[in-house]
Amino acid sequence: MNTESLLGSTKRTNNFKIDDKVSSGSAHPSNYKYTGYDRGHLAPASDMKISRTTMSESFLMSNISPQNPSFNRGGWKKLETLVRSWAQNYEIHVVTAGVLSSKLPKLGSSNVSIPKLFYKIIYAPSEKKMIGFLLPNIKIKTGLNNFVKSVDEIEEITGIDFFYDLPDEDENLLESNVVLSDWNFTNFSISSSVKNNYSSSISKSISKSISVQCKGVSKSTGARCKNKIKSENQYCYLHKNQSLDYKVPKKSNDVGRCKATTKAGTQCKRSASSRSKYCWQHKLFSPKQ
């Protein structure tokens, strides 16, 4: 997503339609009728004005999820506007979806899951920065900065390994840190009153999120860790045991990083399950311990 992709003039179509390419069966627009939920876009229609094809495809039901009307037309819309403002300055990659599980309530005859949480992850390669958002599917009454998460935190909740094809060193650094001052939350098209509220809350949040380099040393290379941590700390979660003040918890479930290797050939980034060397996913396929 970049400036060029936002220059289109194609008008919104509202032609919601099933997606024949969904092998498990697509939801139908009528599944939402009389439910009280909006047919909420994951990839916004306003980002797809470059052509009639992209606009039309944004209304495929595979790009639609049940959203509370006050969420879809409020906080979610403001987040979409904010992300577009960033794309006017540099190219970004956006990953977005609802957090799914088998226990979620269903909607319509197609049993469409109703997410309680939605996320967006934004990666700006040229700026070497990432930021994530995790919002509840309800009316958003506070500034968007209150819903900022690191990519690592969203991975933990979703069970998905995002950007796994990046070099490990870059992936670990980018996904574990968020520096709010690197992102402009104020220069986007919303009302001046809302913008002023965001400006105030962001400035307070930035003062609490100043990041410094971890003082830890990598055992494998002997080089100083490149992870960023908050100023009140000196070591990241990987090297916290190198602190002179570190004390091993008497009852700790922290068993370190999962020992499994992903399909991409890199070490899994999730935390291992209690009394195990593997995370919840790889534990199923690990040798008996």
Show which residues are catalytic. 41
Residue 97: which H helix or E strand, with range? strand 93-98
| Residue at token pair 């100023």 | 231
Alpha-carbon span 260 to 152, nearest angstrom? 17
Longest dimension (CA), the chain: 62
283 Cβ contact list (under 8 Å, min separation 6): 273, 276
Q: Of 259, 210, 246, 262, which is closest to residue 231 (Cα–Cα)? A: 210
CA–CA distance, 289 with 275 (Å, rounded to integer): 9
- The values of phi and psi at residue 238, to 5°, are -75, -30
- What is the spatial distance between Cα 163 and Cα 166, in angstroms, rounded to a whole number? 6
Long-range contacts of 46-49 (CB under 8 A, 24+ apart): 46/12, 46/80, 46/84, 47/1, 47/5, 47/6, 47/80, 47/84, 48/8, 48/10, 49/6, 49/7, 49/8, 49/9, 49/10, 49/11
Cα-Cα end-to-end distance for the chain: 46
Q: 210-238: buried (b, 16+ CB within 10 Å) or exposed (e) per residue?
A: ebeebebeeeeeeeebebbbeeeebbbbb
